[in-house]
Amino acid sequence: MERDTAVSYDELYMQQKYQQVQMHLENDELEEALEETRLLLAEHGDNPQSWCLEGIVRLALQEFQAAHRAFDRACEISPEDPAPMLHKTRFMLAMDQHEEALRLTQSALEHAEDDEDRVDAYLLQVQALMGRSEEIMDSLEEEMDEDGEPLFEESDDEEELNLPLEVEALLEKGIGIAEKAIALEDHNPEAWFFRSVLLTNLRRLDDAIESWERALELDPNNPLFWHEAANLHAIDGDFEKAHEYFMKLYDLEVKSHAEEGMEFALYEFEQVAMQAAETLQAEFAEEFDVFLPISVEVQEFPNRKLMEEASQRQPFDPWTACHVEIDAEESDEPSLNFLLFQRNVERQLVDDSTEHLAQSLYELLQQILMESIKMMDSEEVIEA
């Protein structure tokens, strides 16, 4: 069934308000967005869309209880309308409440009258299933046997399928649901994207590559698609293609971020990184009674030369990689120099506090150090 294109004045008004609030959110103008929703609720407190917008803004403000109440109110006002259910589903996914998200999407599908809502519900269902499978994997890796050994460990071989049967079943179900979305809307790149992710997780790499190519054909300027497709080719052993796709991702990143500023000033970021390196150096010396010089440099983003010089046997991921130099030529005692890329670190931050940045940088440098110790006989570019 096609969506009725005739809209009322109230619907047009709500669409305009929605766009205004979204613009405020994209510009990080959270207080302005909140003021818009307050005015909207004062005028249209009986409209579920008003409460959905309130929930979206409260979620952006990390006021989770207020967001939950807003989405609940939207569903109470219009209990058979799938739109509030789908908004609430997105909130539940953000809260890692995957079982509740699955329940909501099923209810939305039962009430959906057009394909647009059905496709949205299917794609949210897929995300909930993927989230649930990750929960299961995390819980299994935390379980220990009588000897203190993990009951389950993922294989180091990226080409080997090593998943619990319950997780395999969830991923299989997700593929079927993604294909339902594709059957309704073949030109939806997100549906092809999720199908390819699920197929990759099940190591059906040929089918996954076909899905990635379709997603890229439909949305060639989506950096996430290029990033995941590059990783897939690396898993498949096609390092030349992985390198090509990482270069495409690099070009998109440079273009899309040309006018964007960083969360932290470069000097501030570098000072925090240097302090983290000094702490790690002192802890290493205390634990192993060895002084290992560790220095840190910071750049905003990898440069093209570094990308092009990366070994095609180990393509350089511009989103996650760092550059490590191990100097052991002048003396028997090596020294380490870590080149960090500010944009990559900030991409992973949960909040913009200096404390969180410091902890994140410390954990990143600790991880790089452990990898570097394994490679002390050579100079490598490693991924962290």
**β-sheet with 335-341: strand ranges across:** 294-299, 335-341, 323-327
Asked if residue 356 has pLDDT above 50, the reply is: yes
Comparing C-alpha atoms, which of 90, 94, 134, 129 is closest to residue 108? 90
Helix (H) or strand (E) holding 307: helix 304-309
CA 367, 368, 370, 372: dihedral to nearest 10 degrees? 170
For 96: left if phi > 0, alpha if psi spans -120 to 50, otherwise beta; the answer is left
Task: Give me Rg for the CA atoms of the chain.
Answer: 24
End-to-end CA distance of the chain: 48
pLDDT digit string (tens) for 284-343?
A: 999 888 888 899 999 888 888 878 777 666 778 888 877 777 665 555 667 888 889 888
184: confidence class by pLDDT, cuts 50, 70, 90 = very high
Distance CA 102, CA 93 (A): 9
User: Mapping DSSP to helix (H, G, I), strand (E, B) and coil, where does residue 325 land?
Assistant: strand
Burial label for 82, CB within 10 Å (0-12, 13-18, 19+), is buried
Please name the residues in contact with 307: beta carbons below 8 A apart, sequence gap of 6 or more.
246, 247, 250, 316, 318
pTM: 0.79
Asked if residue 250 has pLDDT above 70, the reply is: yes
Domain boundary assignment for the chain = 266-373
pLDDT digit string (tens) for 103-133?
A: 999 999 999 999 999 999 999 999 999 999 9
pLDDT digit string (tens) for 46-88?
A: 999 999 999 999 999 989 999 999 999 999 999 999 999 999 9
Tokens representing 129 are 């299933």
Burial label for 352, CB within 10 Å (0-12, 13-18, 19+), is exposed
Q: Which CATH architecture has domain 266-373?
A: 2-Layer Sandwich (3.30)
Percentage of the residues of the chain whose pLDDT score is greater than 90? 47
Local structure of residue 155 (DSSP, 8 states): -
